Amino acid sequence: MEDDKDAQQVDEKLYSRQLYVMGHEAQKKMMVSDVLIVGLSGLGVEVAKNIILAGVKSVTLYDPASITYNDLGGNFYFQEADVGKPRAATCVAKLAELNQYVPVKVVDSLSPTGMSCCCVTVPMPTAEATKLNDNCRTANCAFIYSQVAGVFSQVFCDFGAEFIVSDKDGEQPHMSQVEAITTSNPGVVKVLEDQGRHGLETGDTVRFSRVQGMPELNETEHEIKSTGPYTFEIGDCSGFGSAATQGYITQVKKPVKVTFRPLAEALESPGEMMLSDFAKFDRPQVLHAAFRGFSKYTDEKGPIAPGDVKAAAEVVAYANDFFDGDLDEAQSKIVAAFAVQSTACLSPMCAAIGGIVGQEVLKACSGKFTPINGFLYFDAAETLPDEPLSPEEVAPRSCRYDSQIACFGWESQQKILKLSYFLVGGGAIGCEMLKNWAMMGVACGEGGEVHITDMDRIEKSNLSRQFLFRAADIEQPKSITGARAAKVMNPGFNITAHELRVGSETEDIFGDDFYDKLDGVCTALDNVEARLYMDQRCVFYGLPMLESGTLGTKGNTQIVVPKLTENYGATRDPPEKSIPVCTLKNFPNQIQHTLQWARDYFEGEFKQAAEDVNSYLSSSNFEEQLNAQQNTKLETLLKIRKTLVEDRPYSFEECIVWARQKFEKLFNNDIKQLLHNFPRDQVTSAGTPFWSGTKRCPDPITFDADSICGDAQMKNHFDFIVAAANLRAEMYGIKGNTDPAMFKEVLSNVIVPDFTPKDGVKIAANEAEAKEEAKNMDTGDEDPDKILKELPSPTSLAGFRLSPVDFDKDIDDHMLFVTACSNLRAINYRIPTEDTHKSRAIAGKIIPAIATTTALVTGLICLELYKLVGTPKKELSAEAYKSAFVNLAIPFMTLSEPQPPAVTKSQLRGKEYNFSAWDCLLMDVGDVTMEEFLEYWKKEYNLEVSMLSFGVSMLFSSWGNKDKLAARLPKKMSVIAAEVKKEPIPENQLFLTFEICVDDMDSGEEVEVPYVKYRFK
């Protein structure tokens, strides 16, 4: 019990991103859950890795079987020298390194007693599997039975007769702001439309808070009846005194009871099974029969050798006995294809299914999210040859690639070994990708090479999902560390690591000559801008792109194939809406507004002010820089005067006094001034109350060092003073202090000046006024030039510099200030407050992440790589490629054919000519003169160039300056390009891109054509 008590202390630094997926309560349940993993081939090690990273209490391994060459295809901790050793014992030490909080041990007997979950990851005789399931039910232990057979897989879950799910979907509770509530029966609630739809369904429960006019509703829960996107009904409100005008509603999530059936019953009657690909409606039923037939065959006769078509025919016959009706020809072909490669253990399949099964284990331990109820079948049969390959082509070669050879043949494996790929990003997806590629043998042969780039360094929060990194690697480069770890997994891996950002600034490194040698690009990025840049590169160079991303339990993959599919940038999400300035400054109504305001204040007070002072002290042309920014000149000088002269502290006590005075100004005086300008009873020109709708009437705050807010239970008053004083001290190089007694002693002696609101102070009442105010800064009586002259000269402060503080969401002192500052402003406006953990996510724009989703999407996109490489006896069409969207919380998974590229129709050489974003007119005739360039289009395409441009520069036009044209005609195109760019063309650049407008020489009509890709080297 003592161990369980200790386990309740969640390491928020380590599990930071995962906590935004699972939550603290679910994490604590996981931390007291013991898990038994049966089978440590490829799937077993993936599941173990994911749940150890997630932080269960302990993991017990059971697998006395010996390592085979097939196991090397999926278990990333096995080497050739390990063949013949026991599987569990060989990888236990490596697994134990993944998380210091999770002990890992091996047992030599199989028993679910005392376990929270028993997860089987290898095939078992049906009788043994059903018996183990029954034992799990007796021991109150969740049971998962899963297996991977080449590119086919099966997952089954039985969490008992009554399993409670605390949160069925993992979505944040819906929150809305009340516009009005009627005093009727039933009461009708209308939410503010400009805040979005309420998102509720009939039967949902909501809690009311901070309701104005109906205090009886506050902190009460009500079941609702949805009557529209912005309205719903609750119970009888006719007895309440008056209609409500403002307030908040929050959805209350209720537990759900789920009933499971045991394996023995589900095998005979599987019921409705989870569908993963709508193009394969009948596939779950076929694979259910296939796995049963395969199990019967192997129980009787043992494993099937690769390419054994005779044994495959027997499996088809057995499967037919278990199928409802008779298998047709196509279905029989699927079962046969399953049988002939059933011994294979492929890293991408193990990763994908390991992500799914790992999340099911976490659901069993935590009660968070909806489990798979019964069976899930998933396959990637479209990667396999249409007809069985010859026995020689798939025969084992006693090497680590035997599993892939069994599926795709030796010829395909040789292609994989010679691949050259560019992996952009070395974080969570990057780590998984490196592991999968090392197992697959990507770039592990002569001529193959992987380049990886990532400019980030490893942080502690990375360790719970970026499994190639260890605590000793913190502060080391991600790319170099990941490459080194992957090379340990497969010493033949040819990989070069870079610490560079991809973009125009690094095209001297990643230029034409670099991309010219690649077979493809894989993005493992966390921002759209970099993805779009890489997409442009792939389109230009005609390279496939493997794209994937995650958001908590949600993930997506997109396979981009030149000319066959649309490119990544062909469709994109709308830009994120920004918060209006007047809302931030004067009229916040959501915690997001107050957090953004607090972050902006942090930047201005602790970073920008110090940078302005340092610029004044060190820049020889400071006055010139200042005059170039007339709108902010006075504001900058006033800030420098305050920071350098008026408010400069010389002791930590003075920092505390400054913090206390800032508290008074921000949360009391400024609010009083706002209410002076816009009194509580003010009405608009239309006669409606000014303080209504999204405008919440604020209240000044009186400082109280012992005050604790009701929502977040934080001492915001005191925390603000502590954090602000220490940040101020850090900026000035003064030693900080956090002793509460010391703070309270100083605070007791601070004299806070009285404040009286002033007339004539301008405050923007709407966004238009805020923009106008920003353009026309009120200088008052202050003279900027006079302030500048009165500042102490830089020479008198020689050597003195301030230390700007860059906001970092992972530094607790920074978040303490931002959270306290935000919460105080929220209290001003009666907005629900948030704790530091939630505030960190919003202010830091943290993307929730968990290892299971990362493993799943990386496995899925690596399956697409098999298709790009190809296999004998297979002609791939667009339908064979799959993009995916998954949500492990629901659970939901759908694979679909990628969209084809949009086509522009035109005429060329008298024939119909259709082109897409992938197409260009390649001109590969060496570096020619402009005269030869223009003549080329006449000769080759019967087109006359009327206009030619390079970037933003016009190089030629039929109506342009004749003298200029005459001077350019004899010059080489590369020389002209260098002249207009006013810089030499980089040595590694092979291509120039031109845009041309052309007319058909016969008809005289303009012809629409793509850009010209001109190879001059």
Catalytic residues: 582
Contact 492, 79 (CB under 8 A): no
Contact 67, 50 (CB under 8 A): no
Nearest to 40 by CA among 80, 89, 84, 81: 89
Nearest to 906 by CA among 1013, 994, 1014, 1005: 1005
Sheet architecture: strand order including 883-887: 495-498, 449-453, 420-424, 520-523, 545-551, 554-560, 883-887, 892-896
Q: Give the strand pairing for 175-181 and 163-165.
A: unpaired
Structure tokens at 181: 């509530």
In this structure, what DSSP letter does residue 643 have?
I
Handedness of CA 669, 671, 673, 679 (dihedral sign): negative
Give the C-alpha separation, 195 to 177, whole Å. 7
Which of 956-967 are b and which e, b meaning 16 or more Cβ less than 10 Å from the residue's Cβ?
beeeeeeeebee
- Taking each helix axis from N to C end, the angle separating 347-366 and 851-869, rounded to the nearest 10 degrees, works out to 160
Nearest to 38 by CA among 103, 93, 94, 112: 112
H or E element at residue 974? helix 973-981
Structure tokens at 765: 């009442």
Give the C-alpha separation, 670 to 661, whole Å. 12
Nearby residues of 654 by Cβ (< 8 Å), 6 or more positions away: none
DSSP per-residue letters across 502-569: -SGGGTTTSSHHHHTT-SEEEE--S-HHHHHHHHHHHHHHT--EEEEEEETTEEEEEEE-TTTS--GG
H or E element at residue 222? strand 221-223
**Collapsed DSSP state (helix, strand, coil) of residue 467:** coil
Nearby residues of 276 by Cβ (< 8 Å), 6 or more positions away: 376, 377, 378, 893, 894, 895
Nearby residues of 268 by Cβ (< 8 Å), 6 or more positions away: none
Burial group, residue 768, by CB count within 10 angstroms (0-12, 13-18, 19+): exposed
Give the C-alpha separation, 181 to 167, whole Å. 29
* 3-state helix/strand/coil string of 999-1013: EECCCCCEECCCCEE
**Collapsed DSSP state (helix, strand, coil) of residue 455:** coil
Contact 468, 512 (CB under 8 A): no
Supply φ then ψ for residue 21, to 5 degrees: -100, -50
In this structure, what DSSP letter does residue 445 have?
S
* 3-state helix/strand/coil string of 79-137: CHHHCCCEHHHHHHHHHHCCCCCCCEEECCCCCCCCCCEEEECCCCCHHHHHHHHHHHH
Contact 179, 190 (CB under 8 A): yes
- What is the residue whose two structure tokens read 């353009």? 775
- What is the residue whose two structure tokens read 């000088």? 637
Contact 548, 885 (CB under 8 A): no
- What is the residue whose two structure tokens read 């809302």? 583
| Residue 517 C-alpha from the chain's centroid | 30
